[in-house]
């Protein structure tokens, strides 16, 4: 084989190797750093890239997609000395491949450790109750601190989430009992309150009833008194009128009234269904005497004309059934 033969073969190999070294296809989602003699010079973005063969070398292939790291479980002592087990996740994305390659030696580990220590410091400054109920606040504080810390590395931490917070078992049990006691207390208070309310309502009802009853009685008494007053007044007036009449007229008028009442009472006696035999005291007959009085009243009332009429009647044949004219009612 001649020298030219070997030269031709080697030349072809050299060209192929050179092309292989110079043409770089970077896949989407990655950035490659280029080092010239070991020193960073540029970053290749996704797509086809050419580098100077033999001088340049691909340094690091950096994942530019958002990535998630599991923050391993660790024990954290809260401000009130409870030991809780905590784990979480962190999401980060590289924005500057060069910084992520050369400013930090192991990016994943750095972020993990940074997050872990910050979880300890954030949660250590809170009480257990706060730790359990303020997860959002913890996440937010962690995010701010860690994000600020990783920024020199060309990285942005987008999110840190505390996954699990597990207090020790005996503490969980105590918390359960506390919650139960709290509920029982509330139930008891509610029941007592209900009873109190109902008793108040009942007493109020009774009171209202008594007041109303008393008011009714009072009203009735007032009305009774008024009635009595009125009737007394009427009696007084009647008596007055009678006495006036007597004063003006004859005493015999009095007799008329008495006789009138007497007869009415007598009539009632007779009307009564179980009283067929009526025993009258002898004095009752004196009532008849009052009839003479009636005649006298009639005389006094109707005066002479009546007397003459009576006389005429006595003389003439006036029917015996005719009664003297009625005394006008008072």
Partner 1 sequence: MTDMLVSLGTWNWLIFGFILMALETIAPGVFLFWLGLAALLVGLISFAVAMSWQIQLVMFAIFAAAAVPVWRRLARPKPDASASPFLNKRTEALLGREFTLEKPIIDGSGTVRIGDTVWRVAGPDTPAGTRVKVVQVEGANLTVAAA
Quick one: 144 or 299, whose CB is closer to partner 1? 144
Burial category of 151 from C-beta neighbours within 10 Å (exposed 0-12, middle 13-18, buried 19 and up): middle
With binding defined as CB under 8 A, does residue 159 bind partner 1? yes
Instruction: Give yes or no for a contact between 40 and 33, defined as CB atoms under 8 angstroms apart.
Output: yes
Among 41, 42, 46, 58, binds partner 1 (CB under 8 A): 46
* In the complex, least distance from residue 153 CB atom to partner 1, rounded to whole angstroms: 9
Quick one: 65 or 288, whose CB is closer to partner 1? 65
CA–CA dist 141, 118 (Å, integer): 9
With binding defined as CB under 8 A, does residue 26 bind partner 1? no
Query: Taking CB under 8 A as the criterion, which residues in 50-69 touch partner 1?
Result: 50, 64-65
* In the complex, least distance from residue 195 CB atom to partner 1, rounded to whole angstroms: 51
Kindly indicate which of the ranges 8-16, 71-79, 214-222, 238-246 contains the residues binding partner 1, using the contact rule CB under 8 A: 8-16
With binding defined as CB under 8 A, does residue 211 bind partner 1? no
Instruction: Give yes or no for a contact between 122 and 138, defined as CB atoms under 8 angstroms apart.
Output: yes
CA–CA dist 267, 287 (Å, integer): 14
Query: Taking CB under 8 A as the criterion, which residues in 221-260 touch partner 1?
Result: none
- What is the DSSP secondary structure assignment for residue 2, as one 8-state letter? -
* In the complex, least distance from residue 120 CB atom to partner 1, rounded to whole angstroms: 21
Quick one: 134 or 299, whose CB is closer to partner 1? 134
SS (H, E, C) 52-102: CCCCEEEEEEEECCCEEEEEEEEEEECCCCCEEEEEEEEEEEECCHHHHHH
* In the complex, least distance from residue 92 CB atom to partner 1, rounded to whole angstroms: 10
Among 122, 143, 145, 298, binds partner 1 (CB under 8 A): 143
* In the complex, least distance from residue 22 CB atom to partner 1, rounded to whole angstroms: 7
Kindly indicate which of the ranges 4-12, 177-185, 189-197, 278-286 contains the residues binding partner 1, using the contact rule CB under 8 A: 4-12
Among 155, 162, 252, 259, binds partner 1 (CB under 8 A): 155
With binding defined as CB under 8 A, does residue 277 bind partner 1? no
Of 134, 155, 142, 141, which is closest to residue 71 (Cα–Cα)? Answer: 142
With binding defined as CB under 8 A, does residue 28 bind partner 1? yes
Q: Name the residue with tokens 């009234």.
A: 257
Burial category of 323 from C-beta neighbours within 10 Å (exposed 0-12, middle 13-18, buried 19 and up): exposed
* In the complex, least distance from residue 143 CB atom to partner 1, rounded to whole angstroms: 6
> How many H-runs (helices) and E-runs (strands) does the chain carry?
8, 8
Among 41, 42, 74, 93, binds partner 1 (CB under 8 A): 93
Cα distances (Å, whole numbers) of residue 232 to 157, 236, 240, 245, 275? 106, 6, 12, 19, 34
Among 57, 61, 95, 103, binds partner 1 (CB under 8 A): 95
Quick one: 24 or 299, whose CB is closer to partner 1? 24
Could you give the count of Cα atoms lying within 13 Å of 246 in the half-sphere of its Cβ? 13
SS (H, E, C) 279-328: CCCHHHHHHHHHHHHHHHHHHHHHHHHHHHHHHHHHHCCCCCCCCCCCCC
Could you list the residues that contact partner 1 (CB under 8 A)? 4-5, 7-9, 11-12, 14-16, 18-20, 22-23, 25, 28-29, 46-48, 50, 64-65, 93, 95-96, 99, 140, 143-144, 147-148, 151, 154-156, 158-159
């Amino acid at each position: 084989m001649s020298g030219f033969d070997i030269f031709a073969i080697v030349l072809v190999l050299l060209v192929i190797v050179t092309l292989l070294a110079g043409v770089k296809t970077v896949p989407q989602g990655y950035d490659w750093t280029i080092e010239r003699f070991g020193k960073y010079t540029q970053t290749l973005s996704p797509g086809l890239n050419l580098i100077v063969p033999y001088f340049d070398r691909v340094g690091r292939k950096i994942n530019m997609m958002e990535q998630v790291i599991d923050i391993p479980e660790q024990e954290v002592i809260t401000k009130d000395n409870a030991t809780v087990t905590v784990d979480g996740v962190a999401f980060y994305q590289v924005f500057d491949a060069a910084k992520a390659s050369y400013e930090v030696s192991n990016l994943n580990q750095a972020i993990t450790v940074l997050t872990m220590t910050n979880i300890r410091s954030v949660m250590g400054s809170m009480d257990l109750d706060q730790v359990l109920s303020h997860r959002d606040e913890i996440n937010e504080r962690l995010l701010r601190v860690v994000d600020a810390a990783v920024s020199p590395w060309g990285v942005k931490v987008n999110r840190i989430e505390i996954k699990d917070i597990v207090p020790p078992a005996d503490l969980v049990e105590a918390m359960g009992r506390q919650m139960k006691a709290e509920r029982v207390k509330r139930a008891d208070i509610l029941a007592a309150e209900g009873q109190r309310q109902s008793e108040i309502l009942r007493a109020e009802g009774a009171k209202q009833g008594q007041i109303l009853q008393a008011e009714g009685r009072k009203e009735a008494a007032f009305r009774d008194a008024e009635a009595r007053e009125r009737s007394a007044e009427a009696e007084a007036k009647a008596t007055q009128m009678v006495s006036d009449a007597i004063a003006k007229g004859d005493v015999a008028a009095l007799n008329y009234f008495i006789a009138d009442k007497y007869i009415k009472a007598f009539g009632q006696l007779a009307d009564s269904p179980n009283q067929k035999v009526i025993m009258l005291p002898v004095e009752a007959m004196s009532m008849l005497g009052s009839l003479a009085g009636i005649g006298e009243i009639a005389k006094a009332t109707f005066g002479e004309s009546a007397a003459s009429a009576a006389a005429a009647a006595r003389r003439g044949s006036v029917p015996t059934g005719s009664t003297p004219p009625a005394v006008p009612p008072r």
